[in-house]
Structure 1
Amino acid sequence: MSIWIARLVRLRWLILLLFVLVIGLLVMNYRHWDDRLSFWAEEQQVTAVEQQQSIWLPGYRAVLQGKPLQGLEDDELSGLTYGVLQGSCRVSRFFMQPFSVPVAPSRGSV
């Protein structure tokens, strides 16, 4: 009888271990840790010569800086474009009807 109890306990531990492993794999896939791990592995294979020949930004961190636009705080903006020839910013907005709103950079609204 004690052999069966030992096997049952071992089976429970194996089921628990399998359950934890499956949950861990699902979390890893959901958080894209598998993609990060494969990218890191590929990055380790790059030689110093290849690093010199390419754009290499290992310490780069993107910083998002958003500023509210007066009169458009509650609207959904689709993008901000800059006209080089006109020397001004234009905000393209899509809600019910698409239209552009000129923004003067000297006013400090952008």
Structure 2
Amino acid sequence: MGILNQDMFDDLYAQLGAISPEIQGAALISNEGAVIFQEGETIVDQHLIGIAGAAIMRLAEHISSGLAECPAQEISIRCDRYTALFVPVGADALLMLVLSAETDTRPLARAVRSRLERF
């Protein structure tokens, strides 16, 4: 699967919002750290979040390669008010979702991967 186009990203965002009303925003980030698309409340500093998101996924891939080729399926960062969920989108990008802190990200991460398989 290649990187999502704007229509695909918008469709995915709408589908995920119907599943989880806790989603406050989303961004598609390239592996090079550029924010390709965003929707809702997500990013104050696009440049910083893009680079940080790409670095997080590279670190996860490095760690998972040391764990008997266990590929990273998602990464979440939680603070008092929010959770940022990062899910790989093929080999070229990752999807970041901004959620309320109390959201259980595991079912949502599975739903993201399931919907991405359709594109």
Q: Taking structure 2 as the reference length, what is the TM-score of the superposition?
A: 0.23
Higher strand proportion (structure 1 or 2): 2
Query: Which of the two has greater helix per residue?
Result: 1
Higher RCO (CA-CA < 8 Å; seq separation 6+): 2
Higher Cα radius of gyration = 1
